[in-house]
A = this chain, B = another copy of it.
Amino acid sequence: MSVASKGEDSRQAILKTALSRARKTGLEGLTIGALADELQRSKSGVFAHFGSREDLQLAVLEEGARQFVDEVFVPALKEKRGLPRLRALFRYWLKRVLKLEDGGCLFVAGAAEFGNVEGPVKDKIAQLQEQWRKELTKAVQLTMDTSPHDEVDPAQLAFELFSLVLGVHHDARMFGPKDALRRGELAGERLLSAHFSPKK
Give the interface of A toward B (CB within 8 A). Answer: 23-24, 26, 28-29, 100, 103-104, 108-109, 111-113, 115-116, 125-126, 129-130, 155-156, 159-160, 162-164, 166-171, 173-175, 183, 186-187, 194
Q: Nearest Cβ in chain B — how far from A62, in angstroms?
A: 17
CB-nearest residue of chain B relative to A160? B187
Known A100-B116, A166-B166; judge A111-B159 contact (CB<8 A): no
| Majority secondary structure, A binding face | helix
Residue of B104, B130, B155, B167 near A115 (CB, 8 A) is: B104
Q: Flag if B116 contacts A174 (CB, 8 Å).
A: no
In the bound assembly, the distance between CA atoms of A24 and B117 in angstroms comes to: 8
Q: Flag if B183 contacts A156 (CB, 8 Å).
A: yes
Residue of B112, B175, B186 near A156 (CB, 8 A) is: B186
B residues within 8 A CB of A129?
170, 174-175
B residues within 8 A CB of A104?
112, 115-116
